[in-house]
């Protein structure tokens, strides 16, 4: 991946670069960096708010039917969750920095040791990226309200996890990367991290399907396939667990590391999501949760300092 900015190196000598030469070099480097930029994204940052043996997508209205999940985002998520229930509490019913993101996000809880009494607690904001999954990032459009899907599988084998089109780096800690199961040891003070990308092409019809996957597809050669012609944001969960030392006793509620998966149920405020997608993804920016690109401050900030659209309290 290319860096967002390149350094200009000046060699010593008897002749000094003129100011105009420096400015020309900077401008040329900036243009090249913009041509090569691979970031078309904004961040969502949310803390874990509860854990439960529920999955309103896979086991709707069946409380306790699932292995344990850790839920971030909407505080009301349970086995009976619907789009209406996610929207009912109104703004600020979420653990995300964006109060108008009432979406639900969840993944299998991580445990350490025997039994289920020692969950590996996540007490800081976890990062979920909303990116372009296609080359034509200006064509990405917001998720429709109520879209939901599952990424990965609790029944996956190691090889299925390794070869999944959504796996970015597998599990990592310290200098150990691309692990398709948990590494046996993590250096003191490090943490277990996992990245996994979601499909970003929607069939344009179904908000869900019986397998919770086939209404979505991964891009092919940088474009959405004809069967799923609608590009939507590509979610990339980057989740961190505070586990170091001997981690041979670490496991997920669903099993080994290669059973990692996650669920998404969209309940964004429609204008807010549209503004972030337009400004950050379509605009080719690398935004934080306010829709601000630190490297391009001249492009402005789409949300206020309260993480809401201007004019909202």
Q: What is the pLDDT of residue 116?
A: 63
Q: Is 310 left (phi over 0), alpha (psi -120 to 50) or beta?
A: beta
Residue 42 DSSP SS3:
strand
Q: What is the pLDDT of residue 46?
A: 96
Buried b (16+ CB within 10 A) or exposed e, 87-123: beeeeebbbbbbbbbbbbbbbbbbbeeeeeeebbebe
Entry pTM: 0.86
* Cα–Cα distance, 56 to 50 (Å, whole number): 14
Q: What is the pLDDT of residue 74?
A: 98
Asked if residue 154 lies in contact with residue 161, where contact means CB atoms within 8 angstroms, the answer is: no
Joined together, the tokens standing for residue 197 give 């990308």
Residue 241 DSSP SS3:
strand
Asked if residue 181 lies in contact with residue 244, where contact means CB atoms within 8 angstroms, the answer is: no
* Cα–Cα distance, 137 to 242 (Å, whole number): 34
Q: What is the pLDDT of residue 124?
A: 85
Phi/psi at 19 (5° precision): -60, -40
pLDDT by position in tens, the chain (length 313): 333 332 222 223 333 333 333 333 333 333 333 444 467 999 999 999 999 999 999 999 999 999 999 999 999 999 999 999 999 998 999 999 999 999 999 999 999 987 666 899 888 899 999 999 999 999 999 999 999 999 999 999 999 999 998 777 799 999 999 999 999 999 999 999 999 999 999 999 999 999 999 999 999 999 999 999 999 999 999 999 999 999 999 999 999 999 999 999 999 999 999 999 999 999 999 999 999 999 999 999 999 999 999 998 7
CA nearest neighbour of 268 among 280, 277, 260, 259: 277
Q: What is the pLDDT of residue 33?
A: 37
Phi/psi at 213 (5° precision): -140, -35
CA dihedral angle for residue 214, residue 220, residue 226, residue 232, rounded to 10 degrees? 70
Buried b (16+ CB within 10 A) or exposed e, 31-51: eeeeeebebbbbbbbbebbeb
Q: What is the pLDDT of residue 115?
A: 66
């Amino acid at each position: 991946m290319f860096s967002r900015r390149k350094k200009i190196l000046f060699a010593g000598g008897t002749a000094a670069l003129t100011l105009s030469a420096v400015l020309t070099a900077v401008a040329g480097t900036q243009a090249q960096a913009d041509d090569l930029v691979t970031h078309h994204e904004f961040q969502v940052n949310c803390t874990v708010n509860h854990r439960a043996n529920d999955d309103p997508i896979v086991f709707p209205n069946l409380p306790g039917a699932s292995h344990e999940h850790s839920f971030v985002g909407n505080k009301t998520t349970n086995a009976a969750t619907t789009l209406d229930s996610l929207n009912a509490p109104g703004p600020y019913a979420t653990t995300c920095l964006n109060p108008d993101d009432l979406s639900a996000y969840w993944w299998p809880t991580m445990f350490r040791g025997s039994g289920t009494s020692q969950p590996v607690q996540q007490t800081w904001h976890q990062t979920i990226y909303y990116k372009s999954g296609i080359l034509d990032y200006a064509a990405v459009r917001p998720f429709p309200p109520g879209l939901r899907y599952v990424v990965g599988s609790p029944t996956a084998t190691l090889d299925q996890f390794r070869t999944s089109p959504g796996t970015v780096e597998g599990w990592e800690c310290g200098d150990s990367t691309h692990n398709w199961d948990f590494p046996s040891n993590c250096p003191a003070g490090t943490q277990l991290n996992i990245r996994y990308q979601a499909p970003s092409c929607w069939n344009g019809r179904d908000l869900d399907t019986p397998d919770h996957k086939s209404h979505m597809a991964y891009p092919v050669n940088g474009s959405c396939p004809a069967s799923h012609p609608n590009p939507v944001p590509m979610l990339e969960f980057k989740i961190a667990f505070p586990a170091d030392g001997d981690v041979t006793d670490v496991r997920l509620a669903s099993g080994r590391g290669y059973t990692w998966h996650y669920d998404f149920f969209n309940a964004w405020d429609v204008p807010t999501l549209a503004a972030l997608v337009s400004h950050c993804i379509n605009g080719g920016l690398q935004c934080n949760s306010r829709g601000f690109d630190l490297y391009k401050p001249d492009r402005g900030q789409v949300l206020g300092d309260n993480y809401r659209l201007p004019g909202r309290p």
